[in-house]
Amino acid sequence: MKNKWRILKILVTVILFGFLLSFSLKRFNNAKMENVSINMNQTKTPVYFVDEKDIKELVKQYNPTKKIGDVKIPELEKKINQIPFVDSANVYMNLNGNLNVDIRQRVPVFRLNKNGRDFYVDEKGVEFPISRNFSYPCMLVMGDVQVSEYQELGKLIEKIDKDDFSKKYFIGITKEKGSYNLLTSDGNYKVEIGDLDNIEFKVRGFKTFVEKYLVDQNPQKYKKISLKYENQIVTTLNPYFKENDSILRNAPKIELKPDDGSQKLEVKKPEIKKAESKPEAKKEIKKSEPKKTEVKKETSKLKKVEKKPEVKKTSTKKKETTSKTSDKKKKVKVVIE
């Protein structure tokens, strides 16, 4: 009997508890939603792509009656996560009837202009569009950058932002024919780095070049500074800079690059080839002039056979011609020297 009474008491308490619970839940679900709190989890650099008004409009769409029980939390959370500016979202309800929406926004690493499209790329390599409400200041990249290169390019830009020297000089990145170029704020030249390997070494080489050489030069002097070659820096002069006219004329070694036809100047000692041209000029003069004298001698001999009294005249002519030729020889030597 005692066991039966115990079982009966337990059943009664369970039924009463369930009844009270269902009553309280029904009352809770029929109650109006008191407040909607939207928490934007900000990072080190604040972003404002998502507007709180837009999130509240979504909450109204998924809860038109404004009752707690009618809120479709899973569907609302899924819808917020589909917003391209949202990295992650979490929606939950408190016991006091407040709806909480925690949102983490995407932070752009760079802005890419590719094939006529303009969009942002975050640290995960995810593309998302430009916002009408907010413009984030970041590095501008132009060219045919592959999706597989997004994260490596993001690491390069992160290193530039952390280095005061690089942040001062580099304002943009372009990719032309598979080669990356860094655009500079000082002058119109670009810094060619080639691929994204050994970035730290290449940037350090450019820093050394600027501190030891470019400081004393006009930045308009150069068109391109290439760092893609191993253990060397190759500079391309700006042909529209007036001071480069004499340098380009007397350039020690100029090679025409096959890709863009620009002149690549390598700093080497000039090779003097004037000594080789001198003997050739002298030989040509010596060979050519004696032939003329021989012709004149032959003609003079013929004249001697025909007429004897005209011998003296021809001798004077010979002297004149020989003197003229000797004068010519002396003049040619002076010019060559």
Per-residue pLDDT tens for 262-305?
Answer: 444 344 434 444 444 444 444 444 444 444 444 444 444 434 44
The pTM (predicted TM-score) of the whole model is: 0.64
Contacts of 166 (CB under 8 A, 6+ apart): 159, 160, 203, 207
The residue ranges of every structural domain in the chain are 31-105, 111-265, 276-336
- Residue 302 or residue 108, greater confidence: 108
- Residue 235 or residue 333, greater confidence: 235
Convert 184-212 to b/e letters by CB count within 10 Å (16 or more is b): beebebbbbbeeeeebeebbebbeebbee
- Residue 43 or residue 114, greater confidence: 114
| CATH of region 31-105 | 3.10.20.310
- Please choose, from the candidates 101, 92, 100, 98, the residue with its C-alpha nearest in 3D space to the C-alpha of residue 28: 98
Instruction: Kindly tell me if the per-residue pLDDT of 333 is higher than 60.
Output: no
| Cα separation, 245 vs 221, whole angstroms | 11
Return the pLDDT at 23.
56
Give the fold, CATH level 3, of 111-265: Rossmann fold (3.40.50)
Return the pLDDT at 279.
45
Q: What is the mean pLDDT of residues 73-97?
A: 91
Q: How many CB atoms lie within 10 A of CB 286?
A: 11
Q: What percent of the chain has pLDDT over 90?
A: 28
Q: 236: pLDDT confidence band, cut at 50, 70 and 90? A: confident
- Residue 315 or residue 91, greater confidence: 91
Digit-coded pLDDT (tens) for 2-57: 676 777 777 777 777 776 666 555 655 566 777 888 998 877 788 999 998 999 89
| Cα separation, 227 vs 206, whole angstroms | 7
Distance of CA 156 to the CA centre of its chain: 10
- Please choose, from the candidates 228, 213, 139, the residue with its C-alpha nearest in 3D space to the C-alpha of residue 181: 228
Asked whether the domain spanning 111-265 has the same topology as the one spanning 31-105, the reply is no
Return the pLDDT at 154.
93
Return the pLDDT at 98.
85
Give just the sign of the alpha carbon dihedral 240, 246, 250, 251: negative
Return the pLDDT at 238.
84
- 155 CB-side CA count, 13 A: 9
Q: 249: pLDDT confidence band, cut at 50, 70 and 90? A: low
Question: What's the whole-number average pLDDT of the chain?
Answer: 74
Q: What percent of the chain has pLDDT over 70?
A: 67
- What are the percentages of helix, strand and coil residues in the chain, rounded to 5? 45, 25, 30
Instruction: Kindly tell me if the per-residue pLDDT of 161 is higher than 50.
Output: yes
Return the pLDDT at 302.
39
DSSP state, residue 262 = P
Return the pLDDT at 9.
72
Q: Which of 14-18, 85-89, 102-106, 218-222 shows the lowest per-residue confidence on average (mean pLDDT)?
A: 14-18
- Residue 253 or residue 84, greater confidence: 84
Q: How many CB atoms lie within 10 A of CB 332?
A: 16
Digit-coded pLDDT (tens) for 183-230: 988 777 889 999 988 888 888 888 888 888 888 888 788 888 998 888
DSSP state, residue 160 = H
CB 100 within 8 A of CB 94: yes
CB 174 within 8 A of CB 183: yes
